[in-house]
Structure 1
Amino acid sequence: MLGLELIVVLGAAVVLGSVVARPLRVTEPVLYLLAGLLLSLVPVFRGVGLPPETVLLLFLPALLYWESLTTSLRELRRFIRGILLSATLLVVITAAVVASVAHALGLDWGSAWILGAAVAPTDATAVASLGKALPRRQMTVLRAESLVNDGTALVVYGVALSSATGDGDISLPLVSGEFVYSFVGGAAVGVAVGWAMLAIRRRIEHAMAGNAATVLTPFVAFLLGELIGASPVLAVVACGLYISRNAPLTISAHTRQQSVAFWSLVTFLLNGALFVLVGLELPSAVAGLWTTVGRANGQAFGQVLLISIAVYAAILVTRLAVLVVSAYLIRAIDRRPYQRKLRTTNRARVMSTTAGFRGAVSLAVALSIPDGGQFPERNAIVFITAFVVAASLVLQGMALPKVIRWSRIPEDTKIVEELVTAKRTSIEEALEALPSLAREIGADDDVLERIRGEYGERLEALNAGFDDEEHPAVVRTRQYRRLGLAMIARKRTTVVRLRDDKTIDDTVLRIIQGELDAEEVRLMHQQETE
C-alpha cells in the first residue's frame, strides 16, 4: 500500500502547494520542496524515494518532450550560438570549476568530477516552473539551454564514472568523439522518430489512438537513443521540435485539443511531484552522510557543508563569468549589424544567472552513483548535490522576481503584434476566399452573408485595436463575447435541469456539455487574447 499512499500524498502536495502559492506569494516549487521535507517527518515516508532510473526514464522523457513541443523553433535558431555555448561549453566549464573547488576542499578527483557533472546543468522543469515571469528572450534561451545541457552533463558523468572506476581509457580524442556522436546521433534519432510518428499519425483518424501514439513518442525516442549509445535527451528534444514544426497540418483539431489538455495536466503533476520527491530525498541524504562521517574518507560533516556552500557559490560565479566573457568575445569577433541587434545587458546576464536553477535531474544523477565500497564519498556527493538543488530552488527562486525588476528589461510586445497580424491576415484571406468556398459547398446567400458579417465585425475590431474601448466594433465584439458566455451558462443550466427531471439521460448531458465546453473555451480564449 505504500506505493498508493505515496501517489496520494504527492498529488495532494502538488494540489495544495499550487492553491496556496499565490496567497502566500511564494513560488510553487519552493512550497513543493517544503512539502517534501514535511512528509519526510512522517515515519512511513522516511527514506522513501523513487530510484534514480525512474526519474531519468519516466519523468525526464515526458517533461522534455512537452518543453520541446512548446519551444519556439524560430527563437531557438535566432539565439542558437548562445544556446549551444551555454548548453555545452558552459556545462563543461562549470563541471571543471566545481571539480577543482571540491578537490581543493577534500574530495578525490573522480568524485569531484562526478559531482561537477551532477550540478552543472540547469533544469528545464525548474526553469519552466520558476521562470514564468522572465522576459520572452531570456525564457526562450534558458528553456532551450536546459533541454540540451542534460545530454552534455550525462556524457561528462559517464566519462567521470568510467575514469573513477578504471573501466575505460580516457583521452581527449575519445571524449570529443563521444560528445559528437552523442549529439549528432541523438538528434538524428529524434528527427527519425518524429518523422515516423507523424507518418503513423496521418493514418490514425481515431483521436484516442492518435494521442496514445503521442504518449509513446518521447519514450520511443529516448529508448532508441539509449540503444544506439547516443544522447536520449537530445533524441527526445529533436523529436519534439520536429513534430512541433510539422504537426499543425497533420493532426486533427480534436486530437490536438485532447493532446494539449493531457500533456498540460501530466507535466503539471510530474513537475510538482519531482520537487516534492527532492524534498523527501534531502533528509535521507543528510542521514546517509551523517552515518558515514569519520569512515573511509575521514570527512567531517562541517567539511562537507563547506564544500556544499563553496560549490554553490562556484556555480553562480562561473555562470555569470562565462556569460559575460563569451558575450564580449563574440562582440569583439562578430561585428555584423545583425549581431548587434542580439546584444543584451549585464543586468540581463545577472538575471539569467539567477534563473539558472538546478533540479531533480541533478539529484537523479547523484543518486545513480553505484552504492558500495567503490564510492566511499557517494553520500557526500548526494548531500552536496541536494544542498545545491535546495539552495537553487529556494534562494534563487525567491530572489528572481526582484532581479527581474532590477534588470529593467524593456517589455517585449513582439508576440502581441504578431498575434494581431496573424489574426488580421487569416481573416482577410478567409474573407477573400469566402465566395469560392461557398460555391464549392453550395451555401445559400443568407449563410454567406451571415459568415461575412461575423468575420467582418471581427476584422473591423482588430483594425481598430482592442485597446480602443470606445470604438463601436470593439464594443460590439466584447458584448458578443459576454452575451455568448451568458447564453452558454443558461443552456448548461437548462440541460442539467432536464437531466435532473429525467427528461434526458446522462449520456445526452455529456454530449451537449462537451459541445458547450468547446464553445465556451473558444469564446474565453478570444476574450483573453483581445
Structure 2
Amino acid sequence: MSHRSIEIMVVVVAAVLFLTWTARRLKVSEPMLLLAGGALVGLLPRFGDIPLPPDVVLLILLPALLYYESLTTSLREIRANVRSITLQATGLVVLTTAAVAVLAHAAGFSWPAAFVLGAVLGPTDAVAVAAVAHGLPRRTVTMLRAESLINDATALVLLAVALEAAVEGTPFSWGGTTLRVTVSYAGGIAAGLAAAGVIILIRRRWRDPMLNSGLSVLTPYLAFLPAELLHASGVLAVVTCGLALSQAGPRLISPTARLQAVSFWEVTTFLVNGALFVLVGMQLPAAVRGLSSFSLPRALLLALGVSVAVIGVRTLWFYTVPYVVRLLDRRPSQRERRISARHRLPLAWAGMRGAISLAAALSVPTVTAQGSPVQDRDAIVFITTVVILITLVLLGPPLPAVIRWARLPADPTQAEEERLAVREITRAALTALPEQAARLNVPAHLADALAQDLGSPDHHGRAEAAEHTRRLRLALLQVKRATLIQLRDRRHIDDIVLRRLQGRLDAEQLRLDGGEEDTCGLEHDHAWPSPGVPAGTGAPAGRRERRIV
C-alpha cells in the first residue's frame, strides 16, 4: 500500500467520523452531510482525482454489507411478504430500467447505452435505505431491506446484458434475458445454501472464538466468489447464506465469538457505509470535469428528468400493482395483511440510490470490443452521480415526516413476543433448576435463593460470590438459550427478538465467566425486563440493537 493510499484512507475515515459527529450534533441527515462533505473534499486539488474503484465496491465491500444486513433481517417477515418483496426486487427493477432507458434514448442515447443507464439506476441501495429507514414498523423495514438486498441481483444481470450489447454488440433478447435472470437467481440461491452448509460443518468443529470470528469475516466471500465463478448471482448467494446462518448460528457459536463478531461488524459497517457516501460525494467534481458528450445544462436537465422517472415509477408501482394483486388474490389471509394507501407512502418514498449504482456506472468499460470509445459513458457516470444526490437529498430528510404523516400502526407483536420469550425462558430455567443443581452439587439453600432471584427484573446486575451459584447460573443460561431457539423455530418469536435476548444472555455469560469489563456495559444497557414489564424498557430510547452470528 502506497503513502498516497494511506493518505486517502485517513482523509476518508476522518471525514466519516467528523461529519457523522456533526450530523448527530446538528440533528441533520447523516447521508446528506457525508455527501456534501465528500463533494467539498473532491474540490480540493490533491483529492480531486481520487477514483471510486468499482471492483472494490462490487467485489469487496458489497458482499460484506449484504451479509451484515441479511443476518440482521427477519426471515419470518421475509417469508410472510415474499410475494411483495419478489415483485419489487424484480418487476419494479425491470420497469424502472425500461422507463429510464426510454427517456435516455429520447434524449439522444443509443439504445444499448440507455439500457446500461437504466440498469445502473434500477435498484435501490441497501446502505442508503438502512441509513434513513428508522422509526418504521418491523414489516415495513423488512420489506425495504429485503428488496434492497435482492434487487441488486436483478439489476446486475440486466447490466451485464446491456453491457454485452453496448460493448460487444450482442443482440438483446427478452427471452434470453429472462432465462439468464432465472438461472442467475437459482444458481445464487444454490451457491448460498452450499456455502452455509460448509460454514455450519466447520463451526461444529471449531470451538475457538477467534477462529469463529475470523470465519464470520470470510463467510460472505465464500458464498460470493463461487457463485460469480459459476456466472450465478453472488449477491443472492451472500443473502441466502446470511439468512441460512441466521437460523443455524445461535446453536453453533459461543457467546464470546458472537460478541466479538458483533463488535467487528458494527464498527466495520459503520465506517464502510459512511466512506461510501463520502466517496460518492467526492466523485461529483470529477464527473462534472469528465462530461464531454453532453453540455452541462443538458446533462443536468436529463439527470433531473431521470430522477423524476425513477421516483415516479416507484410511486406508480406502489399505488397500482398492489391493487391488481388484490383483485387476483382474495384469500382471507391476504386480506388481513393489506395496508392502506396512506400506510404505503413510506414504501414508495424510500427509493434512494447509492454507491452501488455509482460503482456499476464506473464499471462500464471505456472502449468497445472493437477498440472504439463506449458511447455516452461520461454522461452515464455524471447522470448516475446526480440522480444519487437528488434521491438522497430529496427523499432522505423528509422521510421521518412522511412516516409521521402515514400514521403507521404500532408494532405491538414484537414487544409481546419479547415478553413471551422472557416468560418462557424463565419458566424453563426454573423447571431445570433442581436437576441442574443436583448435577452440579449446588447446596439446596443456594438453589432456592437463585429460584427466587430468577424472576427479579434486576437479577442480572448482581454478582454472585458463590462458585456454586455461578456455575448454576451458567448451566441455566444454556437452558434459556435452547428455549429461546425453540420459540424462534416454532415461529412464536422472530429473529429480531431472538437476537435481542440472545445478546443479553451472551453479556451475562461473559460477566459470569469473569469478563465483565469486556461487555462494554451491555449488561446495563440491555437490562432484563421482568415477565410482567413491557419489553424494551431497559434500553435507552432510540438505541438500535443489532446482533449477528
Please state which band the TM-score falls in when normalised by the shorter chain.
0.7 to 0.9
Which letter maps to 1:427? T
CA distance in 2, matches of 1:38, 1:339: 49
Question: 172, 175, 187: which one pairs with 1:185?
Answer: 187
**CA 1:300/1:524 → structure 2, altered by over 3 Å: closer, same or farther?**
closer
Once the two structures are TM-superposed, the CA of residue 250 in structure 1 deviates from its matched residue by 0.9
Once the two structures are TM-superposed, the CA of residue 175 in structure 1 deviates from its matched residue by 1.4
Aligned to 1:432: 431
Is the 1:131–1:139 contact (alpha carbons within 8 Å) kept by the matching residues of 2? yes
Which letter maps to 2:194? A
SS in 2 for 1:457: coil
Is the 2:354–2:388 contact (alpha carbons within 8 Å) kept by the matching residues of 1? yes
Aligned to 2:487: none
Aligned to 1:524: 525
Question: 98, 104, 109: which one pairs with 1:107?
Answer: 109
Once the two structures are TM-superposed, the CA of residue 251 in structure 1 deviates from its matched residue by 0.8
Question: 331, 334, 338: which one pairs with 1:339?
Answer: 334
Which letter maps to 2:388? V
SS in 1 for 2:40: helix
Once the two structures are TM-superposed, the CA of residue 218 in structure 1 deviates from its matched residue by 0.3
Aligned to 1:393: 392
Aligned to 1:359: 354
Aligned to 1:125: 127
Q: State the identity %.
A: 45
Aligned to 2:295: 300
Is the 1:194–1:239 contact (alpha carbons within 8 Å) kept by the matching residues of 2? yes
Question: 310, 314, 318: which one pairs with 2:313?
Answer: 318
Which letter maps to 1:65? Y
**CA 1:482/1:232 → structure 2, altered by over 3 Å: closer, same or farther?**
closer
SS in 1 for 2:442: coil
Once the two structures are TM-superposed, the CA of residue 513 in structure 1 deviates from its matched residue by 8.8
Is the 2:460–2:523 contact (alpha carbons within 8 Å) kept by the matching residues of 1? no
**CA 1:35/1:512 → structure 2, altered by over 3 Å: closer, same or farther?**
farther
User: CA offsets, 1:448-472, max 9 Å, x none?
Assistant: 12221211324xxxxxxxxxxxxxx
Once the two structures are TM-superposed, the CA of residue 523 in structure 1 deviates from its matched residue by 2.8
Once the two structures are TM-superposed, the CA of residue 19 in structure 1 deviates from its matched residue by 1.4
Which shifted more, 49-58 or 82-91?
Answer: 49-58
Aligned to 1:444: 443
1:363-382 counterparts in 2 under 5 A? Answer: 363-372=358-367, 373-382=372-381
Once the two structures are TM-superposed, the CA of residue 187 in structure 1 deviates from its matched residue by 0.5
CA distance in 2, matches of 1:304, 1:517: 54
SS in 2 for 1:40: helix
1:45-444 counterparts in 2 under 5 A? Answer: 45-289=47-291, 292-293=292-293, 299-372=294-367, 373-444=372-443
**CA 1:512/1:235 → structure 2, altered by over 3 Å: closer, same or farther?**
closer
What is the TM-score normalised by the length of structure 1? 0.87
CA distance in 1, matches of 2:127, 2:298: 31
Is the 1:142–1:356 contact (alpha carbons within 8 Å) kept by the matching residues of 2? no
Once the two structures are TM-superposed, the CA of residue 262 in structure 1 deviates from its matched residue by 0.8
| Structure holding more helix per residue | 1
What is the TM-score normalised by the length of structure 2? 0.84
Is the 2:165–2:171 contact (alpha carbons within 8 Å) kept by the matching residues of 1? yes
SS in 1 for 2:73: coil
Size of the aligned set, in residue pairs, is: 477
SS in 2 for 1:398: coil
Once the two structures are TM-superposed, the CA of residue 3 in structure 1 deviates from its matched residue by 0.9
Once the two structures are TM-superposed, the CA of residue 529 in structure 1 deviates from its matched residue by 4.4
* Bigger Rg, structure 1 or 2: 1
**CA 1:341/1:426 → structure 2, altered by over 3 Å: closer, same or farther?**
same
CA distance in 1, matches of 2:453, 2:341: 49
- RMSD of aligned residue pairs (Cα, Å): 1.8
Once the two structures are TM-superposed, the CA of residue 184 in structure 1 deviates from its matched residue by 0.4
CA distance in 2, matches of 1:187, 1:440: 45
Which letter maps to 1:439? A
Structure 1 spans left out of the alignment, 5+ residues: 294-298, 459-476, 485-510
**CA 1:124/1:8 → structure 2, altered by over 3 Å: closer, same or farther?**
same
Once the two structures are TM-superposed, the CA of residue 167 in structure 1 deviates from its matched residue by 4.4
Is the 1:354–1:399 contact (alpha carbons within 8 Å) kept by the matching residues of 2? no
User: CA offsets, 1:117-172, max 9 Å, x none?
Assistant: 00110000111111122232211100000000000000110111111234434323
Once the two structures are TM-superposed, the CA of residue 267 in structure 1 deviates from its matched residue by 0.6
SS in 1 for 2:319: helix
Once the two structures are TM-superposed, the CA of residue 483 in structure 1 deviates from its matched residue by 7.9
Is the 1:320–1:349 contact (alpha carbons within 8 Å) kept by the matching residues of 2? no
Aligned to 1:468: none
User: CA offsets, 1:208-229, max 9 Å, x none?
Assistant: 1111111111011111111100
Structure 2 spans left out of the alignment, 5+ residues: 464-511, 529-535, 539-549
CA distance in 1, matches of 2:138, 2:249: 24
